[in-house]
């Protein structure tokens, strides 16, 4: 009796051990196309960005309250673990992220099945696309226009629209600020940014991973290089505006470290 119990326990243990060791489908060649979701979570210096509410003080000792944070991301390239690059269809590769309009999610479709470990994308609109002219990109131009992301056609797109109010030690009272990033005839301020994913994004016909980006608005003025709003005041001393000149090149440099990927959700793994 005793012996048979021991045997049964051992058998049960062994059986469950064996049944649990099923292999996954990694060894098989994945084929077909799937989707990938990109989610842009806007933040400011480690805090969740809440428009019109959160104030924070940057390393320039200026205290900002942000009322608008919109930007254009474009030209997505998904990079596999072996270095293979999948270039997303250029015609469909321009998107607006807007905190006020709650545009945070991008859905990339027809992505070849694979394991993606890096993503490269542009902040803004590249010259090549811009020079194709207005009619070639009318629908995106209209969308950008509706989200305060354009000047006139001749002056082009705003890549970043960052607005709010601020106080500074050298100024009395609260002032408004407007930071409008873009390219102009003098400089091309479109930048490419490459982010490394903390976990592989597995795309399968039935698995759509979601990549969770965090964008840090603080990096615009307080990145590797510093821009003081108090040094960009208008003549009346009521408002700071950063819309041209050298400062846009500084911002372009800062924004290359504005994005990180916090995590990747695996997609539905139902088989």
Residues within the interface to another protein (CB under 8 A): 2, 5-6, 8-9, 12-13, 16-17, 19-21, 24, 26, 39, 41, 43, 46-48, 54, 104, 198-200, 202, 210, 212, 214, 262-263, 265-270
φ, ψ of residue 141 in degrees (nearest 5): -60, -40
| Cross-strand bridge partners of residue 37 | 107, 210
Bin 147: left if φ > 0, else alpha if -120 < ψ < 50, else beta.
alpha
Whose Cβ is closer to another protein: residue 25's or residue 134's?
Answer: 25
Nearer to another protein, 48 or 224 (CB): 48
Is 206 or 238 the residue whose CB approaches another protein more closely? 206
Pick the closer one to another protein by CB: 53 or 236: 53
27 CB-near residues (< 8 Å, 6+ apart): none
We find the least distance from the C-beta atom of residue 260 to another protein, in angstroms, to be 11
Cβ closer to another protein: 2 or 235?
2
Are β-strands 55-57 and 47-48 bridged in parallel, bridged antiparallel, or unpaired?
Answer: unpaired
CA distance to 78, 155, 187, 245, per residue, from 252 (Å): 22, 17, 10, 12
Instruction: Tell the smallest beta-carbon distance from residue 41 to another protein (Å).
Output: 7
Min dist. Cβ of residue 63 to another protein (A): 15
Q: How far is the CB of 104 from another protein (least distance, A)?
A: 7
Kindly state the tokens that stand for 41.
């979570």
Which residue, chain included where needed, has tokens 């940014």?
Answer: 193
Q: Least separation, in Å, of the C-beta of 44 and another protein?
A: 9
């Amino acid at each position: 009796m005793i012996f048979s119990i021991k045997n049964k326990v051992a058998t049960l243990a062994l059986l469950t051990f064996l049944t649990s060791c099923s292999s996954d489908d990694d060894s098989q060649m994945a084929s077909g196309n799937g989707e990938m979701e990109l989610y842009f979570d806007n933040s400011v210096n480690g805090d969740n960005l809440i428009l019109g509410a959160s104030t924070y003080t940057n390393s320039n000792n200026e205290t900002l309250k942000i009322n608008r944070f919109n930007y254009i991301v474009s030209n997505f390239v998904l990079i596999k673990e072996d270095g293979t690059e999948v270039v997303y269809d250029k015609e469909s590769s321009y998107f607006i992220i807007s905190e006020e309009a709650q545009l945070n999610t991008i859905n990339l479709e027809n992505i070849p099945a694979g394991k993606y470990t890096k993503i490269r994308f542009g902040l803004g609109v590249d010259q090549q696309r811009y020079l194709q002219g207005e009619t070639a990109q009318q629908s995106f131009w209209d969308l950008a226009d509706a989200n305060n992301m354009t000047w006139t056609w001749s002056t082009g797109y705003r890549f970043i629209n960052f607005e709010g109010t601020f106080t500074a030690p050298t100024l009395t009272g609260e002032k408004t600020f407007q930071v409008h990033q873009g390219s102009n005839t003098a400089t091309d301020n479109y930048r490419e940014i490459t982010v490394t994913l903390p976990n592989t994004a597995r795309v399968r016909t039935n698995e759509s991973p979601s990549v969770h980006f965090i964008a840090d608005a603080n990096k615009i003025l307080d990145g590797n290089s510093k821009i003081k709003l108090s040094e960009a005041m208008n003549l009346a001393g009521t408002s700071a505006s950063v819309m041209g000149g050298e400062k846009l090149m500084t911002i372009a440099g800062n924004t290359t470290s504005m994005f990180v990927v916090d995590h990747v959700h695996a997609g539905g793994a139902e088989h």
